[in-house]
Amino acid sequence: EALDADIAANDPTMVLHTIRDAGMVFAQAVKHVMEGFLMSEVKRVDMRSEMQAFADEHRGSAEFDLTPHEGFQTTEEYIRFLQDVAQIPAFGVEVNGGAQFLRLKVELETFFRFCEIKVDVSEKEVINMRGVTGYGHVHWGDVIAKLVAAKGNDSMTKVVGYIAERLRFFFATQKDVILDFMHNVHGAPDEHMYSQLFPQRAQLISSNPMMKELIYTCYDKVLQRQKAEFV
């Protein structure tokens, strides 16, 4: 029996099935982490640390700018603006998971509000954009929308690039948070609200470096794919 069990444990088909099963449970845990929880102390960061880590990894990127407007000379100036002027909620609080994601969304909205066309638009172009449809005259709001689409593509592309990469970067930093959450479900007051597979698969993933690496790599590939679709 021991020999049969050893053979089954080393069967490539069974190994693949086990890794896939653990990966599926890991993916299911993401939803609970994003909903908010108290079961993980790992990778908790305040807004300043999060922004500095992102800037350090992407400094010199041609894909997007690290500040939303040329009025900010450095990333540090933008960070101070977020803290003192925009007053991002929970700026100085170390959080992770869903709470960190909520704070991130406020920062991204702030970044997006600085977006502008940054090109000259002539009176002739404005007038020429206005025409008629089967329902009557084109409203000025529609004219502005068409001008932004025609003139602001370059600026908007960089802003969207920043937002997409910030989202990817955030979710990439949550891998250890998700695994820690899975571990800590066992024995928690609200343990009955979560699948018993979470702590079981967490133990399996943590005890097998190859499995952990494969699951983390697959997770990162999904993030890259979703970023490409977003952009």
Burial bucket for residue 163 (CB in 10 Å: 0-12, 13-18, 19+)? buried
Residue 32's pLDDT band (boundaries 50, 70, 90)?
A: very high
141-174 confidence digits (pLDDT tens): 787 777 777 766 677 888 999 999 999 999 999 9
CA-closest candidate to residue 163, choices 105, 90, 84, 80: 105
Strand partners, 132: 137
CA dist 24 and 174 (Å) reads 16
Q: What's the rounded mean pLDDT across residues 197-226?
A: 95
What are the b/e assignments for 9-44, b being 16+ CB within 10 Å? eeeeeeeeebbeebbebbebbbebbbeebebbeebe
77-122 confidence digits (pLDDT tens): 999 999 999 999 999 999 999 999 999 999 999 999 998 766 677 7
- Of the chain, the percentage scoring pLDDT greater than 90 comes to 62
Q: Which residue has the higher pLDDT, 140 or 157?
A: 157
Residue 123's pLDDT is 79
Residue 16's pLDDT band (boundaries 50, 70, 90)?
A: confident
Residue 38 in this model has a pLDDT that exceeds 80: no
E strand or H helix at 3, and its extent? helix 2-9
Residue 2 in this model has a pLDDT that exceeds 60: no
Per-residue 3-state assignment (H helix, E strand, C coil) for 134-201:
CCEECCHHHHHHHHHHHHCHHHHHHHHHHHHHHHHHHHHCCHHHHHHHHHHCCCCCCHHHCCCHHHHH
Tell me the chain's radius of gyration from C-alpha atoms: 24
Residue 59 zone, left/alpha/beta (φ > 0; ψ -120 to 50; rest): beta
In contact, 216 and 30? CB cutoff 8 Å: no
Residue 5 in this model has a pLDDT that exceeds 50: no
What are the b/e assignments for 170-199, b being 16+ CB within 10 Å? bbebbbebbbbbbbbbeeeeeeeebeebbb
